[in-house]
Structure 1
Amino acid sequence: MDLLQTIIIAIVEGLTEFLPVSSTGHMIIAQGLLGVESTPFVKAFTVIIQFGAILSVICLYWRRFFYPEAVQTGTSYWKAMYDFYARLVVGVLPAVVLGLAFNDFIESNLGNVTLVAVMLIVGGVFMLFCDKLFGNGSEDTKLTYRRAFIIGLIQCISMIPGVSRSMSTIVGGMSQKLTRKAAAEFSFFLAVPTMFGATCLETYKLISHGDGSLLATGNNLEMLIVGSVVAFIVAILAIKFFINYVTKYGFAAFGWYRIVVGIIILICMLCGVDMKMAD
């Protein structure tokens, strides 16, 4: 993987990580089109650069992470901090448990482009109707521990490549009567521990399999740093756009986008275009 491929994949990651279009699916497709070999480092790279996207959320919402809104209503600082982070823990627990239980299944299907295309279409069709199905929630609806846990459970559907973690958590939030904006923001917050855990797990896998030295080479370190920085910058722009757009217009446009991309992928495969990642 050269520098240009690194930047392109990082841009794809930053653009799609927080949009309901499946960042994993888009990166798999991008790698296939770019002819990037499916090496242990490349697999780790696509996960580790998510750290840049994590930092973009913390940067944009630093007040929510370090000065929760509940403090402004008279709740003590430490109680507000505890409630905020406890809800994140409750929300991420299902993904931790099921992610570890089905890790082999997830990895075996990670490069399945056909599955990605089909799930892009299925998810896209669902998103065309989710606004009518759930409405725009209520501003008075609080994010309780029960709601956080249910959203976390629904997030686990995104373990299927092509579903989209962002889509599943936002839909989960809307199913719990959160507004589109509140559901999207909790999706961003929930991404921080989820993606941080995935980054740590991927790094551990490299080290435990004796491939940890791959991260220490000069060229690979450069690609990781460049990839993380690019993902950070692009993710900030994507989040700002997404919040403004979805609050005003809903999710239908993203649904149509998913359907079109999924159909294009299937047509390309039927026409003999090699969309799989090179081995």
Structure 2
Amino acid sequence: MGDLTILQTIIIAIVEGLTEFLPVSSTGHMIIAQNMLGVQSTEFVKAFTVIIQFGAILSVVCLYWKRFFKLNTCTVFDNEGVSGLSATQKMLVYGKRILYKFDFYWKLLVAFLPAAFFGLLFSDKIDEMLESVAVVAVMLVLGGIFMLFCDQIFVNQEEQTELTEKRAFKIGLFQCVAMIPGVSRSMATIVGGMTQKMTRKAAAEFSFFLAVPTMFAATAYKVYKLFTTGGMQILADNMGALIIGNIVAFVVALLAIKFFISFVTKYGFKAFGYYRIIVGGIILVMLMFGYNLEIV
């Protein structure tokens, strides 16, 4: 089947689907899974771990399709008549109506922009860090320690229901922290949402929504880089693995999202903190005792 066997393809895709939307670092878990499966870090494997995110983001669109494909129909600005206004004033009124109609997409775009900027700026450094299991392990532990106290930090805060452009942009800045492998994009954006007075459930859902443009852009950029470097044949030769990987990631992510929303609403983040510390700690101990966990 190429660089990956069918079993390796399915296992890595399951790991992606399970961990992409949980605050445990999907990238870190896939690096660890690759190592345990003895998968070499070839150009295709690097592309595969990014491209199968497309299946995961489709699960978000599927579960929340009413939010993704429903425009605001409220006539909040219709009371602003345009008769007697200058051309410039009319444009401002019409502009406000359009922005309100596409408000959901506009806020996602604003939140997405920081990751797009820094992702392009530091793409080579990010790829370099993706090779390091030690970085993943340390960030798993540090993130886990933070999550043990996360619920206490944001307890009894006054909830803000309106997501403004400014608050969306701040959440987008938090997402940039997740470019460090092991941090978890989900954790960073959920914490970012909670700093902006969102509930755990609302912050988690916005994290899912923000994953769609972010992960789609990452997938498209990876395919574009392969295209410009003559690597499209690699994808063609491994198309079976890509199809299977995306399907498996889609199905597993559907189940993981439903579980996570229910669990985090009732119990918070502490359990995920303990999990991160245990996994990261085991990896660090193995590295200390000389086990070669680096992907080659």
Smaller-chain TM-score range?
over 0.9
Pairwise mapping of residues 18-37 of structure 1 onto structure 2 (< 5 A)?
18-37=21-40
What's the counterpart of residue 250 of structure 2? 232
How many Å separate the matches in 2 of 1:50 and 1:96?
Answer: 16
Distance 1:78 1:137, change over 3 A: farther
Task: Choose from 215, 226, 247 the match for 2:235.
Answer: 215
Pairwise mapping of residues 115-134 of structure 1 onto structure 2 (< 5 A)?
115-134=135-154
How many Å separate the matches in 1 of 2:261 and 2:75?
Answer: 28
Pairwise mapping of residues 1-150 of structure 1 onto structure 2 (< 5 A)?
1-67=4-70, 71=73, 80-135=100-155, 137-138=157-158, 140-150=160-170
Say whether 1:275 aligns with 2:278.
Answer: no
What's the counterpart of residue 175 of structure 2? 155
How many Å separate the matches in 1 of 2:127 and 2:141?
Answer: 21
Task: Choose from 145, 158, 170 the match for 2:190.
Answer: 170
Offset at residue 267 of structure 1 (A): 1.1
What's the counterpart of residue 255 of structure 1? 273
- In terms of mean alpha carbon deviation, does 147-156 or 127-136 score higher? 127-136
Residue 136 of structure 1 contacts residue 179 of structure 1 at CA under 8 Å; is this kept in 2?
A: no
Residue 142 of structure 2 contacts residue 277 of structure 2 at CA under 8 Å; is this kept in 1?
A: yes
In structure 1, stretches of 5+ residues that fail to align are none
TM-score by length of 2: 0.89
Task: Choose from 237, 245, 262 the match for 1:244.
Answer: 262
Residue 38 of structure 1 contacts residue 277 of structure 1 at CA under 8 Å; is this kept in 2?
A: yes
Distance 1:137 1:55, change over 3 A: farther
Offset at residue 135 of structure 1 (A): 2.1
Q: How many residues align?
A: 274
Offset at residue 270 of structure 1 (A): 1.8
RMSD: 1.6
How many Å separate the matches in 2 of 1:80 and 1:187?
Answer: 21
Residue 137 of structure 1 contacts residue 180 of structure 1 at CA under 8 Å; is this kept in 2?
A: no
Offset at residue 272 of structure 1 (A): 2.5
Distance 1:208 1:58, change over 3 A: same
- For residue 175 of structure 2, what is the amino acid of its counterpart? Q
How many Å separate the matches in 1 of 2:101 and 2:125?
Answer: 36
Offset at residue 175 of structure 1 (A): 0.4
Which runs of at least 4 in structure 1 moved beyond 4 Å after TM superposition? 73-81, 136-140
Distance 1:170 1:88, change over 3 A: same
TM-score by length of 1: 0.94
Task: Choose from 283, 287, 290 the match for 1:265.
Answer: 283
Residue 160 of structure 2 contacts residue 197 of structure 2 at CA under 8 Å; is this kept in 1?
A: no
How many Å separate the matches in 2 of 1:127 and 1:63?
Answer: 31
Greater C-alpha Rg: 2
SS in 2 for 1:87: helix
Cα offsets for 1:32-64 (capped at 9, x unmatched) = 111101110000000000000010000000000
What's the counterpart of residue 204 of structure 2? 184
SS in 2 for 1:159: coil
- For residue 37 of structure 2, what is the amino acid of its counterpart? L
SS in 2 for 1:141: coil
SS in 1 for 2:282: helix
Cα offsets for 1:174-194 (capped at 9, x unmatched) = 000000000000000000000
- For residue 52 of structure 2, what is the amino acid of its counterpart? I
